Structure 1
Amino acid sequence: MPTPDLQAAQQKARIRLAADIGGTFTDVVLETPLRRHSCKVLTTPRQPELAVLEGLDRLLQESGLDGSAIEVFIHGTTLATNALIERKGARTAFVTTEGFRDVLAMGYEKRFDAYDINLEGPPELVPRPWRLTVRERIAADGKVLMDLHEEDVRAAGAQMRDGHIEAVAIGFMHAWAHPSHEERAHHILASILGPQVSICLSSQVCPEIREYERFSTTVANAYVRPLMGSYLLRLQESIRQKGLLCPLLMMMSGGGLTTLDLAARFPIRLVESGPAGGAILAAHLARECGLDKVMAFDMGGTTAKICLINDGQPERSRRFEVGRVWKNLKGSGLPVRIPVIELVEIGAGGGSIGRVDAMQRITVGPDSCGSEPGPACYGRGGEQPAVTDANLVLGRIDPEHFAAGRMPLDAALSKQALTALIGKPLGMDAFWAAAGISEMVEENMANAARVHAIERGQDLGNFTMVAFGGAAPLHAGRLAQKLGITRVMVPAGAGVGSAIGFLRAPVAFEVVRSDLSDLSKMDPLVVEARLQAMHAEALAVVQTASAGAALHVLRLAELRYAGQGHELRVRLPPPSEGPIVQASLVALVEGFETAYEQIYGLRIPDCDVEVVTWSVTVSTQTQAAQAIALPPSIQQRQASSTRPVWEPALGEQRPFGLHWRFDLQTQEHITGPALVAEDETTTVIPAGWVARLDEQGHLMMEAPA
């Protein structure tokens, strides 16, 4: 029998806090052994920590806990992403090898839209006057072709000091393999500029080939590091004042957690931390419920995210573009090479603005009114109609109980904005303007999902949709109808899904090294030594925050046929199966050619296979839950009341039954059309669909047979 002290210690070890800062709302979740507490608070863009603290205070009061009882605090934020998109980072300079000053402007040297004569790329983070060059050159094989001219570095440092530069990115040719010149330049510049200026090296931020992407990633990291460092220190100090003495871990874009120190050094790894949390939640649910194919649909106040999950694992990549500036076209954003969960993100959220374009069509987004001023119905000065305004006018949202009743909405303001900016130009009333906004935002999301699936050779009709985020359950049923999906899960706590996902994420860190070599000529002992060194580097990071948890090691190689420009990722055997030997390299080649044939339909005989990059990820173990067999339905719930709501599939208003989610009993069946409300969102059940609450508390909706 555990002693009271042991019981208290065990309870403390299970009390965890998570906060996800979005463009409109900040979601805060407090999980205890007995209950999960959650809330949504309007984001405070100028001081993001204020919304986190407001949510924390609210949940501590609700739970009756003291801040010192919390064992760990996990945090994700859009601060770095927004700084890059809005170009509100530090005053940054870039120091590079002489002759490569304009790499950042030249990019890939190709147009992302071949037929647009007015094409403009994304604005550069560093203007040309602050792209400075120094004389130095190291060849790819490590031979020093030109010594580092230290007087050039000193001159650049003096120029940056006089120009009040706040951050510096250093990127030299071939520094991914031979960083000595970068390290020496760092030493010189640090002595001139002092500790108040942040300096980032490409050999530390992105030690991989391809100069443009390496330089772009390093510059982006330097650009946001002062902002993120300052914010994280403020947040840490603020939670300490609230009595939280626990570790503060940060969610990364690749789906793992890292320490505050690492996050402050490499904030570029946080750019997709919120969406990554949602994907982690959906993957956890897929394993828990035995779903082999899941489409995660996360719709918040600013954006909608779609991620495909197969066999309980989200797709991952090492390439990502921040802030695409033209029709979401690939190549129109700022490229960064970081571990990231593969997803599509579009400007379609509750705050996305509806308007009439030059061709008299209703369009929605990609811009959002955010939390300041927010949609018109918030009553905070917003005058443009947003998706939330449309949902309110269409009857889907109860204005008195929005955000657990803490933010009553004003439907009159919604109608006024819809009439003025959409209704009058098109000769329709506010209701039909709202219906147009709803239909357009759902079609935008459906198109994005179709393209994302087609690019991966997937048929969405075989997938179960998992819908979460404050706005997703409002649109999930209609989106499923458009995509041919017949089953939708709205998990418990859907309104704060990404923050809950943070609590399911492993502590993880990935180390990557480029090493362009012919695989057939590599020495297995050299490969093993490199992988062990990378493993030790990742392990040192993870052990600081894993509290002795069991660890998992994932080793990958990026391979290609010699002469090609792109690679495929292939798994290596784990360290537990023994060291790398010649047979391991032969199996690696076979794994690559099998994957190549699956994707491209052929193999290329007698063509050498070369390795481009090695990757080692160390993470805490994720436990896969067993699927639970569900008993048959035993009762049918009848709505206690109804209200008229727009039913888009029928093109008319219908009386929708009204239900409160926490009144439902396990395995009760609800037949649509109906609304199931909860504190942080509302689920719309389309006409003819049937919903039930499963054993885990998830709301399952199914289309009629």
Structure 2
Amino acid sequence: MALAANRLGVDIGGTFTDVVLETPSGTHSTKVLTTYAAPEDAIVEGLHQVCAKAGLAPSAIGQIIHGTTLATNALIERRGAKTALVTTKGFRDVIEMRTESRFEQYDLDLTLPAPLLPRNRRYVVDERVDATGAVLAPLDMDEVEALAETLRAGAYESVAIGLLHAYVNDAHEKAIAAVLRRALPGVSLSLSSEVSPQMREYERFNTTIANAYIKPLMASYLGRLRARFAAEGVACPVFLMHSGGGIISLETAAEFPVRLVESGPAGGAVFAANIAARHGLDKVLSFDMGGTTAKICLIRNQTPKTARVFEVARSYRFKKGSGMPISIPVIDMVEIGAGGGSLAHVDVMRQIRVGPESAGSEPGPACYGRGGTRPAVTDADLVLGKLDPDNFAGGSIALHPDRSEAALADVLGGPLDMDTMEAAYGLAEVVDENMANAARVHAVENGEDLSQYTMIAFGGAAPLHAARLCEKLGIDRCLVPIGAGVGSAIGFLRAPFAFEANRTMLTRLSRFDAAAVAALFAEMGAEATAFVRSCDADAPILAEHKVYMRYRGQGWEIPVPLSPQDAKAPDAAHILALFEREYETIFGRSVEGLEAEITVFSVNAATPSQTVKPSRAVSASRPAEPAGTRALFDAARGAVGEAAVCARDAFAPGTFVDGPALVTENETTVVVPGSRRAVALADGSIDIVTKEA
């Protein structure tokens, strides 16, 4: 299927909804405040704005790609459907027992997050399958019929079915589902063998419950959205971005909404990978900072790093282990509560803390004048001179510096005996150091040296903070691409149609069955391809194969990419060599004398990525002509100075400006500190590099 002439990308964030319209004559974008009660209202408002800019009727749009935080917010706020879990007798409390790990080892008052479902909504059936798929105790169908009546009496809207070892033998789950579909028409069902057919029951049960919990909500939202588009005269196909960096159909999204949990950040990573390909960069740190969170992702060889488990709704300072594990294909990134709306406070140690609580769009930071009284990162940025109060979001939102100053003085300045500028500086430095530290930890965990990387910054708030992060991380180069303020929405328009299938089949290399492995890859490839064909019946489909491996006795595994030939004719010795190479890359050495094993097999089917036109090289050849100057606080120097202000649309290729400077546009502002120079490149990107000594 050829790309439609007019395509719309929509990203619903915690503060702003970004809308991008791509047409043959150009790209048009806007940011509108997210409407929490009815997210589709903000989408339609943004739709009308970009269509007006392009001079098009909404009916002229040929394709819509959408990403949303609705699924994530429902899990965080615990406002999903009334849901029940059906599981194997003896495993009712798996989601409450967790893994018994402590994410804060020395905290004697540690409080574990409550499970998504209380115990009285978890039901058991007397059945048992072992790890090989053999039935140890058959399913009693009379017991299932009785359970159906119990669930009917409980008035449940959705049911999650998660049985022990169902990833290797799903017969009992399917038998239960057949009874419940007949006895409980209209009740939504989620089977662990379909949602997440992988080992480790805690993660698998949690993922299935999360899917069931948000399934009715997402089905309702997607139905309303489709009807609202129809009412606006938009009759084109609507697709959804999923957490793994691909696009799926509306129907697949409604069936597996848990795959949408990280859809917005995934779009940002795809956007950064596209920019990396355009500039021939093989080592990129993607930095996406919006109104609520900041996301950091490593991109190697123009491909975002992926994982198959991540956490949502972390409850303890965004610490790993304090959230709800979701076992689905996802772009691997670290996400912290550091966005423009993140709120600051003084803790009991008299230290400034920022996030994870956010002002969002309602009421928003104090400077929005919508009732917020606590200082947010945006308030600090405004006081430090990074933002123009009269031209924020293209002038659509008037900012009030006096309210920012009052909030900073009341919450931070008074308790810490600081003036307003010092309080703003302290807030900004804390949030920048939080993000820099998250990037350092993420890089170390992946065996990477960030000094060899180029940062690509996007999202409404990232260009305000990116250069300071580069100073902290020792990164010499940062690119701020065209459309940075709405980068995730643009990323949706660059993503392929894709679906990843995962299966657990515990396979020791000493007992490797090449025929069984090849058959499994073929079966998974057919499944993943069928999902992609539901979006695009004609496009060629490429398959990426991967296994997750470990040494026997280890608790977790690492991904090992395979070639198509490896999947068709798998060889144990070759796969072992690939595993040892990946293991040495991450940990520095392999382990002698230990047997390796495969735990999970993966096939990702996708349409080919869009062809990327390389950007031609441009050198700094002429200084910019600033439109004026503005007082700007330079954190590295700890002082206020005059900064040149340049309009981005007047920043022609080869034009440069030395910091301190500000490059302004409707959706964001690029802050260039005194240590850096900004150069306009041929594709419109701003290249921020360290000044020569």
TM-score per shorter chain, which class? over 0.9
Is 1:365 equivalent to 2:355 in the alignment? yes
SS at match of 1:503: helix
* Partner deviation per Cα, 1:465-501 (whole Å, 9 max, x = no partner): 1110000111111111111111111100110011111
SS at match of 1:156: helix
Against the structure 1 CA distance between its residues 99 and 63, is the aligned structure 2 distance closer, same or farther, given a 3 Å change threshold? same
Question: How far apart are 1:200 and its partner, in Å?
Answer: 0.6
Question: How far apart are 1:624 and its partner, in Å?
Answer: 5.6
Is 1:144 equivalent to 2:135 in the alignment? yes
Mapping for residues 643-658 of structure 1, pairs under 5 Å = 643-658=630-645
Question: How far apart are 1:601 and its partner, in Å?
Answer: 4.3
Against the structure 1 CA distance between its residues 605 and 578, is the aligned structure 2 distance closer, same or farther, given a 3 Å change threshold? closer
Q: Which residue identity lines up with residue 266 of structure 1 in the other structure? A: F
Is 1:67 equivalent to 2:40 in the alignment? no
Is 1:96 equivalent to 2:84 in the alignment? no
Corresponding residue for residue 18 of structure 2 = 27
2:85 and 2:122 in contact (8 A); partners too: yes
* Partner deviation per Cα, 1:329-380 (whole Å, 9 max, x = no partner): 2211111111111111100000000111112222111110101111111111
Question: How far apart are 1:612 and its partner, in Å?
Answer: 1.5
Match of 1:37 among 28, 36, 41: 28
Match of 2:673 among 664, 668, 686: 686
1:320 and 1:336 in contact (8 A); partners too: yes
- In structure 1, distance between residues paired with 2:240 and 2:271: 16
1:671 and 1:689 in contact (8 A); partners too: yes
Match of 1:265 among 243, 255, 267: 255
Corresponding residue for residue 486 of structure 2 = 496
Against the structure 1 CA distance between its residues 686 and 243, is the aligned structure 2 distance closer, same or farther, given a 3 Å change threshold? same
When the two structures are superposed, what TM-score results if normalisation uses the length of structure 2? 0.97
Show structure 2 runs of 5+ residues with no match.
Answer: none
Against the structure 1 CA distance between its residues 194 and 411, is the aligned structure 2 distance closer, same or farther, given a 3 Å change threshold? same
Against the structure 1 CA distance between its residues 248 and 616, is the aligned structure 2 distance closer, same or farther, given a 3 Å change threshold? same
Corresponding residue for residue 314 of structure 1 = 304
- In structure 2, distance between residues paired with 1:557 and 1:632: 43
1:525 and 1:580 in contact (8 A); partners too: no
SS at match of 1:454: helix
Corresponding residue for residue 82 of structure 1 = 73
Is 1:171 equivalent to 2:158 in the alignment? no
Is 1:427 equivalent to 2:414 in the alignment? no
Corresponding residue for residue 190 of structure 1 = 181
Question: How far apart are 1:626 and its partner, in Å?
Answer: 5.9
Q: Which residue identity lines up with residue 412 of structure 1 in the other structure? A: D
Mapping for residues 398-477 of structure 1, pairs under 5 Å = 398-477=388-467
Corresponding residue for residue 611 of structure 1 = 598
- In structure 1, distance between residues paired with 2:299 and 2:393: 30
2:618 and 2:681 in contact (8 A); partners too: no
SS at match of 2:132: coil
Mapping for residues 288-367 of structure 1, pairs under 5 Å = 288-367=278-357
Q: Which residue identity lines up with residue 580 of structure 2 in the other structure? A: E
1:308 and 1:314 in contact (8 A); partners too: yes
* Partner deviation per Cα, 1:175-219 (whole Å, 9 max, x = no partner): 111111111111222223221x21111111011111111111101
Corresponding residue for residue 580 of structure 1 = 568
1:284 and 1:624 in contact (8 A); partners too: no
* Partner deviation per Cα, 1:291-336 (whole Å, 9 max, x = no partner): 1211111100000111111111111100101121123222111111
Corresponding residue for residue 654 of structure 2 = 667
Corresponding residue for residue 224 of structure 1 = 214
SS at match of 1:501: helix
Mapping for residues 378-417 of structure 1, pairs under 5 Å = 378-417=368-407
Against the structure 1 CA distance between its residues 648 and 600, is the aligned structure 2 distance closer, same or farther, given a 3 Å change threshold? closer
SS at match of 2:646: strand
SS at match of 1:691: strand
Against the structure 1 CA distance between its residues 318 and 412, is the aligned structure 2 distance closer, same or farther, given a 3 Å change threshold? same
Question: How far apart are 1:579 and its partner, in Å?
Answer: 6.9
2:317 and 2:356 in contact (8 A); partners too: no
Match of 2:268 among 278, 281, 285: 278
Q: Which residue identity lines up with residue 40 of structure 1 in the other structure? A: K
Corresponding residue for residue 47 of structure 1 = 38
Is 1:252 equivalent to 2:208 in the alignment? no
- In structure 2, distance between residues paired with 1:169 and 1:80: 16
* Partner deviation per Cα, 1:41-64 (whole Å, 9 max, x = no partner): 000111111111110011112211
SS at match of 2:457: strand
- In structure 2, distance between residues paired with 1:700 and 1:600: 33
Corresponding residue for residue 556 of structure 2 = 566
Q: Which residue identity lines up with residue 423 of structure 1 in the other structure? A: G
Is 1:484 equivalent to 2:480 in the alignment? no
- In structure 2, distance between residues paired with 1:607 and 1:392: 57
SS at match of 1:389: helix
Q: How many residues align?
A: 692
SS at match of 1:297: strand
Against the structure 1 CA distance between its residues 681 and 237, is the aligned structure 2 distance closer, same or farther, given a 3 Å change threshold? same
Match of 1:596 among 579, 583, 589: 583
Moved more, 420-429 or 18-27: 420-429
* Partner deviation per Cα, 1:5-35 (whole Å, 9 max, x = no partner): xxxx99x823110000000000000001111
Against the structure 1 CA distance between its residues 513 and 356, is the aligned structure 2 distance closer, same or farther, given a 3 Å change threshold? same
SS at match of 2:568: coil
Identity %: 50
SS at match of 2:84: strand
Q: Which residue identity lines up with residue 659 of structure 1 in the other structure? A: C
- In structure 2, distance between residues paired with 1:118 and 1:646: 40
Question: How far apart are 1:404 and its partner, in Å?
Answer: 0.9
1:524 and 1:580 in contact (8 A); partners too: no
Question: How far apart are 1:645 and its partner, in Å?
Answer: 1.4
- In structure 2, distance between residues paired with 1:642 and 1:611: 60
Corresponding residue for residue 57 of structure 1 = 48
- In structure 2, distance between residues paired with 1:86 and 1:585: 46
- In structure 1, distance between residues paired with 2:461 and 2:590: 45
Q: Which residue identity lines up with residue 36 of structure 2 in the other structure? A: P
- In structure 1, distance between residues paired with 2:594 and 2:426: 55
Question: How far apart are 1:127 and its partner, in Å?
Answer: 0.0
- In structure 1, distance between residues paired with 2:253 and 2:336: 26
Match of 1:507 among 497, 509, 514: 497
- In structure 2, distance between residues paired with 1:144 and 1:129: 28
2:624 and 2:646 in contact (8 A); partners too: no
Question: How far apart are 1:607 and its partner, in Å?
Answer: 4.2
- In structure 2, distance between residues paired with 1:441 and 1:677: 22
Q: Which residue identity lines up with residue 452 of structure 2 in the other structure? A: N
Question: How far apart are 1:678 and its partner, in Å?
Answer: 0.3
- In structure 2, distance between residues paired with 1:357 and 1:270: 35
- In structure 2, distance between residues paired with 1:37 and 1:579: 43
SS at match of 2:103: coil
1:175 and 1:182 in contact (8 A); partners too: yes
2:498 and 2:604 in contact (8 A); partners too: yes
Question: How far apart are 1:547 and its partner, in Å?
Answer: 5.2
1:28 and 1:38 in contact (8 A); partners too: yes
Q: Which residue identity lines up with residue 190 of structure 1 in the other structure? A: R
